[in-house]
Each structure stands twice: as structure tokens, then as C-alpha cells.
A and B are shown apart, each in its own frame.
Chain A
Amino acid sequence: MLRKMMFALVLLALAVTPALAAKTVKIGVMAPMTGSWASEGQEMKQIIELLAAEVNAAGGILGKKVEVVMEDDGGDPRTAALAATRLTTRDVVAVVGNYGSSITEAGQMIFDEEPLVQIANGSTAVRLTEKGLKYFLRTSPRDDEQGRVAAQTLQAKGFKKVAVLHDNTSYAKGLADETMGLLKGMGIDVVFADALTPGERDYSAILTKMKGKGPDAVLFTGYYPEAGLLLKQKKQIGWNVPFIGGDATNNPDLVKIAGKGAAEGFYFLSPPVPQDLPYPKAKKFVADYSAKYGSAPGSIWAVLSGDGFLSIVEAIKGAESTDTEKIAAFLKKKGTKINGLTGPIAFNAKGDRVGEVYKVYKVDASGAFVLQP
């Protein structure tokens, strides 16, 4: 008898657990908590936790608290695929992330089959939204937009011979290819195009080779650790050529790595850095973030993950449901405008963000990033 009662009790407990779990709305976050982009991932976590606390303080969504479920993608496609599978088993209603395009691509299909809405934050590779996935969106702009701004900037500055360097990641290669295609149409010569291996320390061999081709300017579409080293070593070999970077070079560490002298005069394209965001919501957010964590957020990409989170929260409220179909339909509906940290957010039918975001920045003598008019 006792055994039967215990058995019934266990069954009851099992039956009740899902009901208990549903007392919160779980939102998954895929971020590089470890690996070479870990600083981005840690910032994503801090930003989303801060925003979640604010949402909960304001009453949560649909009368429930928001719970953030972090999953580490390690900044690595293989880890990301495993992490995505694990996240689909943890009762999340939607997913924010990932940071890098190649990482996002690894988990994209897994979420689509589940199905779960995914809003990527730093993934700018064009093809991510060209696959016709119904539930995939992104708060970041696309590489073709950035490529257009890059080509226009090079043209406006009057460069005739340009060297293009990328690092073979899907993002950097995509941006390099896009820009090179546009440059050809503008009559600008691409005198050098090649890829470096990220994660190394010595790029003198590459710089020496590029110098031999005599370009007027170098466009580097890779990430800030390599960009910093390139700038530093370019100065060491006494080569005075303007360098222009893509948006992945937008990180304060760039100046620390290169040194102020070597970083001065470096141009890069980027959505505005967090401190330059003109919107009241962004100003309040930067202040709150600084108060909680001691310094302002450094990466715009991490801020865009905050926008992804806010979009999901607003969509659940707007759709009055946590159903994937309804969330996606709400986000892609014409006329939906979400008040985000990086301005108003609206998505088109492909899941891309609508509107122009890229600006040109220049590093000044003190190492600060100055928005160019």
C-alpha cells in the first residue's frame, strides 16, 4: 500500500513539474561565454540580465517573470550546434544570439526545426536571412549594407588602389567580397586580396607583402585583436598607409593592443557605439549599466543582443502569447515598431532590420573613437 502511495506521489510530482516550470517565461541566450570572443559574450549576459531585471521590476510579461537561460556557444560552430540542441530542451520560448555569423549558422536550422524564434545580434552575413527561414530575425545590419558604406567611403576619400584583407570567417570574407564587387564598378583597383589566420601574433609577413603592392589604402574586414596587431606592426615597419576597418574592429581593446600612436588615424565603419546613441532609452540604459557594472558597455553588438531581448519581450506582450508562430508574425508584421536601445526596431519579411545604421568613425590621438560627420 505504502509503495503504491509513493508511486502515485512520484507520478503526481512528475505531472506537476511542467506546470511549475511554466510559471516563468524562459528566454534563451546563445553567447560566447568562453573562447576568443568571450568578452562579447560576458557583456551580452550582463546586458540581458540587466534588462530582464527591469522587465521583471515592471511586472514581467503576461503576468509572469522573465527568466534568462544562458547557453555558452564558445564562439565555435561545433560547440554552438550542441548548445543549440541543449537549449531546445530547456523550455525556452525564444532565443537571443549568437554573436558571430559562422556561429549563428551552426544553430540556425536547429531552432528553425524546433521551431523557436531566434534573434541574432552580431551576425551580419547576408545569407543568414536569405534562406527563407520563418523564425529567424536579426537586430544587426547586413554585410551588403556595410559593404556599400565601405565602398562609398573609399571612393569619397579618393583612393584609387585598395588592398583588401579578411580572415576567412564567413563574416569577414562576405564583407570583403561584397565590397570588392562594388569597388570594381566604381573604377577602384583592388591590388591585393587575401586572408590572414586569426589568433596569431605576427602579421609582419602579410604587411610586408601588401606594402610591396603599393596600395593607397587597406580595408581590413576582420576582428579587432588582429586589427590592433596589424596597426601596431604596420607602424613598426614604418609604413604610413590609411587603414579602414569593418564593424568588428569596433572595440576599445583595439587601441589598447595597437597603442595610441599606431591606432591614430584608423577609420572604421560601425553602427554608433553605445555612448553615441542619441535615444533617451539608450542614455538611460548606458547610465544604468554603468551604475551596476562599473563601466559603460563597450560593444555595440552586445547592446544589439539587448535589443533582441526587448523585441522578444515586446512581441510576447503584443501577441499575448508565447507561441512561436504568433511571436514571429508579430515581429514581422508591417507597422510593428519596437522602442529599442539602438533606436526604433522594425523587421522586414526576411527578418532583417529595416533602416540605415552604419557610420564612419576615426580614432583620434587620445585613442577615442570620434564619429565622423
Chain B
Amino acid sequence: MEEFFQQLTNGLAVGGIYALIALGYTMVYGVLKLINFAHGDLFTLGAYLGFTLLTSFGLSDRVGPLLGVLILALMVMGLVALVGMILERSAYKPLRQSPRLSAVVSALGASIFIQNSIMLVYGPNIQVYPHNIMPDTVIHLFGMPVPLMRILILVASVVLMVALYLFIQKTRTGTAIRAAAIDQGAAALMGINVDRVIMLVFLLGPALGGSAGLMVGLYYGQVNFTMGWVYGLKAFTAAILGGIGNIPGAMLGGLLLGLVEALGAAYISIAWKDAIAFGVLIFILIVRPTGLLGERVADKI
């Protein structure tokens, strides 16, 4: 039984990260009907920028670890958001009126471009975050040892997701995003600046992806330029699992995928872990082709 709960915490921590990245896929898809294949690489970029800022500024020495990491997170999110916006302007906007396939190809190209730029700037070696940044504390929850960082990651990702959800549901700008997701033409006629909405989506999604990259760097310590591929693929799966285009769906899908992976590895076979995760995806798509939450608010964000 203890092992089961241990595996639950394992799965939730990984799932939280999948969910954060999945949000970026789902938001862009909701508004543009485009799979932003470069999103996984923006995640990698977040991890690398965090590495640079951490090692060059020595933030945590000056203002203490907690505040230091908070400032670091804001800086990384800001920078990755900026790159996301540039990406949209240079790779997607010129193709807005072209067939959708052209934009997908452009997204793949952007992915390769970002990945190789990171390799050329930082080199092909694995980069390792400094070890003394985060506390190594282990908390005992009901007699089970759980690393504190694991809980913090889950809490941080849930906070970010709830904040995003409230922003989309409760604010005027959020309403504009939802309107643009339903019908761009009608939204424009209602006086919504669709271009700005799209820009905003490309600021928010990458910012969340970048923050996930930073968390992976801080917790697992190891970053390399190809890491965006695996995480991107899993997060994309999570987004589809929950119903692509649907924000709570991405959160649910991410956490669920993390749990399925951890429990599948624990009770069936580790080598079959990915097969189990994708098997669950196929099963859900057969039963509910729009994903878990896709039907209720189809084509909306």
C-alpha cells in the first residue's frame, strides 16, 4: 500500500509538468487550430534560460533561495513569452491565410531551428543546474518519505493552472480569448482585436511552458537540448487526452497521463510504460473521440 501511494506522488509530480506544457498546446490549438510543434522546444529554452540566469546572477545568494527562485521564474517566463511572440510573428503570422498544413510545416521547422540554436549556443553536452539551490528536505506524509520539491512542483503547477483558468474565465481579456476561439470572424466584428488575442495566447502558453522547463531544471538538475521532444510529445498526448482546445482538459489530461505512467510502470511493466500510456490514449479516443472534456465545450478554449 505504501508503494502505491509513493507511486501516486511520483505520477502527480510528473503529471503536473505535463499539464503545464499541455496548456500551451491546447491554448494555441483553441484559437488558431494549429499544433505548435515548437512548443516543446520553448520548454527546453525555459530550462536553459533558467540555467544561464541562475549561474550568472547568483540570485539565490543575494536574496535568499525562495525569493531568488521566484524572481528567476518571472524572468524565465517573461523571456520565453517574448520568444513565443517572436515565433508567432515570424513563423505563423505570415501563414495565417495559407492552408493549415503550411503552418504545421512551419511549426516543425521552427522546432528544429530552436533546438539546433540551443545546441549551437550552449553546446551539445548536458548542462547541470547548481546543486545547492533547492532544499533537499524530505517530508514524511503519513509515514511516507516524499521529497519537499516534489510537493512544491505540484503546488506551483496547480497555482499556475488555477491562475490561468481564472484569467480566461473571469476577465474581459479572457473573454476575448474565448470569443476568438469560437469564431475569429465574429469576434473581430464585435470589436475584438484578434491579432492581439493571438499574440496574447503566444505569450501565455510559452510562459507556462518555460516555467515547466525551469521546474524540470531545478528539480531534476539535468537539461539537454533534446529534452523538449519527449516532454513535448507527452504533453501533446495529455492535451489530446483531455480534449484539445480545452483548458481544464489539458490539466486533467496531464495529471492523468502522469498517473497512468507511474502506475503502469509499477504494476505492469516499466518497459511497456509508454505503450500503456499511449494505449490509454487510443482507448479514450475510441470511446470519446473529442477527449475527456472535449465534447462539452467543443472548439472552445
Rounded to whole Å, the gap between the CB of B250 and the closest CB of chain A is 19
Interface size on B, residues (CB 8 A): 38
Contact in complex: A205, B10 (CB < 8 Å): yes
User: Considering only CB atoms, which chain B residue lies closest to A224 in the complex?
Assistant: B126
Q: Name B201-216 residues within 8 Å CB distance of A.
A: 216
Chain B residues lying within 8 Å of A196, measured Cβ to Cβ, are 270-271
In the complex, what distance in Å separates the CA atom of A259 from the CA atom of B222? 11
Partner of B10, one of A194, A197, A204, A256: A204
Determine if B176 is an interface residue (Cβ-Cβ < 8 Å).
Answer: no
Determine if A208 is an interface residue (Cβ-Cβ < 8 Å).
Answer: yes
Chain B residues lying within 8 Å of A256, measured Cβ to Cβ, are 126, 128
Chain A residues lying within 8 Å of B230, measured Cβ to Cβ, are 197, 199-200
The answer to whether A201 and B220 touch (CB under 8 A), given A208-B266, A209-B3, is yes
User: Considering only CB atoms, which chain B residue lies closest to A199 in the complex?
Assistant: B230
Contact in complex: A208, B10 (CB < 8 Å): yes
Chain A residues lying within 8 Å of B227, measured Cβ to Cβ, are 199, 201
Contact in complex: B145, A34 (CB < 8 Å): no
In the complex, what distance in Å separates the CA atom of A127 from the CA atom of B230? 30
User: Which of B6, B126, B230: most chain A CB closer than 10 A?
Assistant: B126
Contact in complex: A237, B145 (CB < 8 Å): yes
Interface size on A, residues (CB 8 A): 35
Determine if B7 is an interface residue (Cβ-Cβ < 8 Å).
Answer: yes
User: Considering only CB atoms, which chain B residue lies closest to A212 in the complex?
Assistant: B3
Determine if A191 is an interface residue (Cβ-Cβ < 8 Å).
Answer: no
Complex interface: stretch among A2-10, A179-187, A225-233, A318-326: A225-233
Determine if B292 is an interface residue (Cβ-Cβ < 8 Å).
Answer: no
Determine if B265 is an interface residue (Cβ-Cβ < 8 Å).
Answer: yes
Contact in complex: B125, A232 (CB < 8 Å): no
In the complex, what distance in Å separates the CA atom of A194 from the CA atom of B274? 14
Rounded to whole Å, the gap between the CB of A112 and the closest CB of chain B is 29
Q: Name A188-204 residues within 8 Å CB distance of B.
A: 194-197, 199-202, 204
Complex interface: stretch among A15-23, A36-44, A113-121: A36-44
Partner of B216, one of A201, A208, A225: A201
Determine if A91 is an interface residue (Cβ-Cβ < 8 Å).
Answer: no
Contact in complex: B262, A205 (CB < 8 Å): yes
Chain B residues lying within 8 Å of A42, measured Cβ to Cβ, are 123-124
The answer to whether A225 and B224 touch (CB under 8 A), given A168-B271, A194-B271, A238-B145, is yes
Determine if B226 is an interface residue (Cβ-Cβ < 8 Å).
Answer: yes
Rounded to whole Å, the gap between the CB of A61 and the closest CB of chain B is 31
In the complex, what distance in Å separates the CA atom of A205 from the CA atom of B7? 6
Contact in complex: A34, B124 (CB < 8 Å): yes
Contact in complex: A34, B222 (CB < 8 Å): no
The answer to whether A195 and B270 touch (CB under 8 A), given A39-B124, A205-B265, A209-B3, is yes
Determine if A206 is an interface residue (Cβ-Cβ < 8 Å).
Answer: yes
Partner of A208, one of B6, B136, B147, B273: B6
Contact in complex: A209, B266 (CB < 8 Å): yes
Chain A residues lying within 8 Å of B226, measured Cβ to Cβ, are 35-36, 199
In the complex, what distance in Å separates the CA atom of A39 from the CA atom of B127? 11
User: Which of B145, B229, B265: most chain A CB closer than 10 A?
Assistant: B265
Rounded to whole Å, the gap between the CB of A339 and the closest CB of chain B is 31
Chain B residues lying within 8 Å of A209, measured Cβ to Cβ, are 3, 7, 265-266, 270
User: Considering only CB atoms, which chain A residue lies closest to B219 in the complex?
Assistant: A201
Determine if B106 is an interface residue (Cβ-Cβ < 8 Å).
Answer: no
Binary flags per residue of B263-279, CB closer than 8 Å to A gives 1, else 0: 00110011101100000
Contact in complex: A206, B220 (CB < 8 Å): no
Chain A residues lying within 8 Å of B14, measured Cβ to Cβ, are 202
Contact in complex: A206, B128 (CB < 8 Å): no
Chain B residues lying within 8 Å of A225, measured Cβ to Cβ, are 126, 222, 224
In the complex, what distance in Å separates the CA atom of A135 from the CA atom of B13? 50
Binary flags per residue of B52-78, CB closer than 8 Å to A gives 1, else 0: 000000000000000000000000000
Determine if B175 is an interface residue (Cβ-Cβ < 8 Å).
Answer: no
Contact in complex: A253, B119 (CB < 8 Å): no
In the complex, what distance in Å separates the CA atom of A204 from the CA atom of B262? 9
Rounded to whole Å, the gap between the CB of B219 and the closest CB of chain A is 8
Determine if A89 is an interface residue (Cβ-Cβ < 8 Å).
Answer: no
Partner of B271, one of A38, A41, A195, A202: A195
Chain A residues lying within 8 Å of B229, measured Cβ to Cβ, are 199
Q: Name B1-46 residues within 8 Å CB distance of A.
A: 3, 6-7, 10-11, 13-14
Chain A residues lying within 8 Å of B169, measured Cβ to Cβ, are none
Determine if A357 is an interface residue (Cβ-Cβ < 8 Å).
Answer: no
Q: Name B238-270 residues within 8 Å CB distance of A.
A: 261-262, 265-266, 269-270
Contact in complex: A202, B10 (CB < 8 Å): yes
Chain A residues lying within 8 Å of B136, measured Cβ to Cβ, are 236
Contact in complex: A253, B125 (CB < 8 Å): yes
Contact in complex: A232, B221 (CB < 8 Å): yes
Partner of B119, one of A34, A200, A236, A259: A34
Determine if B186 is an interface residue (Cβ-Cβ < 8 Å).
Answer: no
Determine if A257 is an interface residue (Cβ-Cβ < 8 Å).
Answer: yes
Contact in complex: A36, B224 (CB < 8 Å): yes
Chain A residues lying within 8 Å of B3, measured Cβ to Cβ, are 208-209, 211-212
Determine if B288 is an interface residue (Cβ-Cβ < 8 Å).
Answer: no
User: Considering only CB atoms, which chain A residue lies closest to B222 in the complex?
Assistant: A257
In the complex, what distance in Å separates the CA atom of A285 from the CA atom of B136? 41
Chain A residues lying within 8 Å of B123, measured Cβ to Cβ, are 39, 42
Q: List 22 A-B contacts (CB under 8 A).
A: A34-B124, A36-B226, A38-B119, A38-B125, A39-B125, A39-B126, A197-B230, A199-B229, A201-B231, A205-B270, A205-B273, A208-B266, A209-B3, A209-B7, A209-B266, A212-B3, A232-B220, A237-B147, A238-B138, A253-B125, A257-B126, A259-B131
Add 5 more A-B contacts to A34-B119, A208-B3 (CB < 8 A). Answer: A35-B124, A194-B271, A197-B230, A202-B13, A209-B265
